[in-house]
């Protein structure tokens, strides 16, 4: 049985959060949540937010990534990264728990 670990946030994702804070003049945490819906059954909800009491907080250099208790099992051992490609720059989730995902990368099934 594999060990269940909280997701890992890359240095690139934390660096992008720091850039956003610098651009907007306010430090906000990045919330990564899993919700029902999307074309594959589940979808990611990634947005700037304030911490809640039951969040798991991943922190580096004052930047925070928040995961609520319901979403945490879906994101076990995942990697939260920031990607800059021709189609645009965005936060991306590399999730080993997803058995399939859609082309846009925001929806998955387990």
Structure tokens of 76?
Answer: 């076990």
Write down the pLDDT at residue 23: 95
Write down the pLDDT at residue 98: 77
Contact predicate 47/81, CB 8 Å: no
State which CATH number among 3.90.870.40, 3.30.565.10, 1.10.3720.10, 2.60.300.12 fits the domain covering 8-98.
2.60.300.12
What is the reported pTM? 0.84
Write down the pLDDT at residue 85: 85
Secondary-structure breakdown of the chain: helix, strand, coil percentages, each rounded to the nearest 5: 15, 45, 40
| pLDDT tens across the length of the chain (110 residues) | 456 788 999 999 999 999 999 999 999 999 999 988 766 678 899 999 999 999 999 999 999 999 999 999 999 999 999 999 888 899 999 988 777 655 555 555 55
With H, G, I as helix, E, B as strand and everything else as coil, classify residue 39. coil
| Core vs surface per residue 71-96: b (16+ CB within 10 A) or e | bbebbeebebbbbeeeeeeebbbebe
């Amino acid at each position: 049985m594999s060990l269940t670990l909280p997701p890992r946030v890359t240095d690139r994702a934390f660096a992008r959060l720091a850039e956003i804070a610098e651009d907007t003049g306010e430090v906000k945490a990045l919330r990564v949540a899993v919700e029902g819906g999307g074309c594959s059954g589940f979808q990611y909800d990634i947005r700037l937010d304030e911490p809640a009491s039951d969040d798991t907080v991943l922190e580096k250099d004052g930047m925070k990534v928040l995961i609520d208790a319901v979403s945490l099992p879906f994101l076990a051992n995942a990697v939260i990264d920031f990607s800059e490609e021709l189609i645009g720059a965005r936060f991306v989730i590399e999730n080993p728990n997803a058995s399939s995902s859609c082309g846009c990368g925001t929806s998955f099934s387990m």
